[in-house]
Structure 1
Amino acid sequence: MAAAAAGTRVFLEVRRRLQSALLILGEPKEGGMPMDISVVPCSLQVKTPEGCTELQLPAEVSLVPSSCRGLQYVPGEGLHLRLQVRAESDAKRISMFNQSLQAQGCCTFYCQSCGEVIIKDRKLLRVLPLPSENWGALVEEWCCHPDPFANKPLHPQENDCFIGDSFFLVNFRSDLWQPRPELAPVETQCSSENHLKLKPKANTKVICKRCKVMLGETMSSETTKFYMTEIIIQPSERKFSIIPRSQFVQSVIAQCLVELSAARSTFRFTIQGHDGKVYILLWLLNSDSLVIESLGSSKSIKKFPLLEDNLKADSCSAWNAVKVLYQPCIKNRNAEWPF
């Protein structure tokens, strides 16, 4: 897939289930600008006095030129045009950058931010999904005898990896010979009985030694919880390569939303910080979108900072995406997000 000379910003969202697409042509200059749009099944081309932009479509997507309709101008965005497409369904829509684990494989755990090795050459004999967070209540409802799992936490044994909704549980017992990630400095808090006495607060944060990013938390002396947004797990024989931070986090969150929505039949979610504070409310609108975009110049990139890592100026790219409606829950929207 390649883009031609720099020109107008072109954005195409393809809905696989609806077999339809929305085409958005970048905001024209004041006073309008002549524009020639050519649509063929495998590509579309936009010509302006400033240049030409061509968008080549993936092999599994083709446009229906005769279906173009609903041309309108939206202030702040540009020209909108709807048309029909023929798109193949794709069961694996969201990429986790090969984050999926398989038993019997030898894996290495890396810090996603800097590439520091956290666990090296770990052979996983069992990779098991954890039950939902309210599984204990379900056992009490369906069992006529006392809950045999009461007060028994699910901790992995050696060479186990348990997968939660947004984290991995790993046993560190067999990695005592390896350099471990750091623990955060011990904090102190006032005793409720005597304000003059200080007692140490439980230290559970796991910090990357190189970049000092919080990777997870300790659950016990042998079990560590790693957050999916901070860890990359790859086969040991594969060479590690840095993935842009925003691109990786978006992919992980999208994967979590899709899986949780399917498992729990819900489309409403919240994103919380480590302190339990809710930062964002999310509503999952759809998960079958294919986004194809061409940025004509670096000025366009500045309008869409989340795309800085995905696209370079005068380039074209396509990726699978989920569409969400979000509502920030903090007053200062420029504050640092928990991820």
Structure 2
Amino acid sequence: MAKDSLTFHEVKIFAEHKQTMGHINVHLHSKRFSENIVCDNFVTVENDTLSVEDANLRVSFKFKDLMFESSTCRNLQYDRRGELTFTVQADKPNSETVSVAHRNHDQQDQYVREIKTYQDRCYCNVCGKKVLKDSCHFLRVMPLPSDNWSDFSDMWFCHNHSHSDGFGDTTDHKMSDLELKPKLKDCFVAETYFLVHSDQISPGSILPVQDACLSCRRCRNILGEVMPEKNGQSNGGGKIFKMLRSSVCFSPDLNFPDKEALQFSKEETECMFAKLVMEHSRVYTSFKLCVTTSTDRKQFDCLMWIIDPNLMIFTGSSNSDINILTPFTAVKVLFKTILERGASNESTGWKKDNSIHMITLPHSSCLSLVKILIDNCKTLPMKSRKHQEFNVGYLKFQKKANLPS
């Protein structure tokens, strides 16, 4: 709801329907509401339509799948910047019971099936350059457990583990030091990335490795990262590459998909993060999450508080006629990010808090997540973008995945 691009007659609307509470918060913004404009403005709420009118013009917004109770309108507030806010009771006509559980491992299993089917047709998501070899054929495509599986593995055994070093001596290893590493013909799939052997990468598809980052040679898109040497060495030699799910795509066509498919992938990335956040919140029964990076020598910590797991958002703008608003579903969060090592004392306190669940992601994925949150924060009304020292943002679910059965 940035006001810089508003014309005089244009009205912008941002509305949040809290489905569990049965009311909707409406934010209207227009230069016609400014105290410098001498005219009478009327806002009318009736059935499923909200109208703004004066002596010269009438603008109406029709809310899809929503009915207002006009007599419950309350909390009317006016801002001199031209913003008008109020709350009104609203319900879905069909009175459906809304599910808020989003099963992220279903998405992971679907990605495993996709890689098995189109494993040699992996492309950069930006320019379409082929990433994996034409001869790439995995014997095993397997889902990975959660990133912190090894932290609890010591509780699975009642004895110490020791391994011979070949000279008759034994060395003790903690299970928490172990990593799952794919062999040449393996592909291990996580929630936001997959692991492959470096020999499966198509020659000339990536730039020489710098700072552990893997970049597309054609468009410089960040495709992933090299696993650290201490655990990034496969059983058969060579390196292990961590390829980001948001940076590559597996296409069923011999030719790279069209531009519409690329634009859709941005929605897929945001939906992937939304499902990731909701799944970890559900499994670990925590509404406080801290996203940190698994990349060596990189600093990133983002504290997220889920304040509404299933919010219906209506947005639009117009200067005439009736406009139909179709909602999208999102998880609304408070977030605060630390990117510099100098502020590590605060992030250390987060990690020691038992009420905060940790999520570990590659550094590039962390940056993609915070960019989406910042971009979505900018779409909120000005006075709704901050809460104390936290920023306010949201992550959208795809329309086809909004209300899983």
TM-score (ref. length: structure 2): 0.58
Q: 1:264 to 1:8 in 2, by over 3 A?
A: same
Aligned equivalents of 1:92, 1:134: Cα separation in 2: 22
As a proportion of its length, which structure holds more strand? 1
Q: 1:152 to 1:252 in 2, by over 3 A?
A: same
Aligned residues: 293
3-state SS of 2:158 partner: coil
3-state SS of 1:338 partner: helix
Displacement of 1:10: 0.9
Aligned equivalents of 1:125, 1:319: Cα separation in 2: 40
2:146 is aligned to 132
2:59 is aligned to 53
As a proportion of its length, which structure holds more helix? 2
Give the aligned residue type for 2:315.
E
2:379 is aligned to none
Once superposed, what is the RMSD of the aligned Cα atoms?
4.0
Structure 2 unaligned spans of 5+: 1-8, 163-173, 228-232, 341-363, 369-405
Q: 15, 31, 34: which one pairs with 1:29?
A: 34
3-state SS of 1:145 partner: coil
3-state SS of 1:182 partner: coil
**Counterpart check, 1:319 vs 2:328:** yes
Displacement of 1:145: 3.2
2:346 is aligned to none
Q: 165, 184, 196: which one pairs with 1:170?
A: 196
Give the aligned residue type for 2:309.
S
Q: 1:86 to 1:214 in 2, by over 3 A?
A: same
Displacement of 1:273: 9.1
Pairwise mapping of residues 1-339 of structure 1 onto structure 2 (< 5 A)? 7-27=10-30, 28-31=33-36, 34-48=40-54, 51-59=57-65, 61-74=66-79, 76=81, 78-87=83-92, 88=96, 89=98, 100-103=110-113, 104-106=116-118, 108-119=121-132, 128-146=142-160, 150=175, 152-156=178-182, 161-171=187-197, 175=200, 178-179=202-203, 181-185=205-209, 204-219=212-227, 220=233, 221=238, 223-236=240-253, 239-240=257-258, 241-243=261-263, 250-266=270-286, 267-270=288-291, 272=293, 275-278=297-300, 280-296=302-318, 318-329=327-338, 338-339=367-368
Q: 1:294 to 1:133 in 2, by over 3 A?
A: same
TM-score (ref. length: structure 1): 0.68
Give the aligned residue type for 1:327.
K
Q: 1:90 to 1:102 in 2, by over 3 A?
A: farther
Q: 1:256 to 1:34 in 2, by over 3 A?
A: farther
Displacement of 1:24: 0.8
Which whole-Å deviations, capped at 9, do the CAs of 1:268-299 have from their partners, x for residues lacking one? Answer: 323559542136432222220111101348xx
Aligned equivalents of 1:93, 1:34: Cα separation in 2: 46
Structure 1 unaligned spans of 5+: 1-5, 187-202, 298-313
- Say if 1:127 and 1:162, in contact at 8 Å, map to a contact too: yes
Which whole-Å deviations, capped at 9, do the CAs of 1:4-60 have from their partners, x for residues lacking one? Answer: xx731111111222222111111522335533333344333333467443333334x
Q: 1:52 to 1:243 in 2, by over 3 A?
A: farther
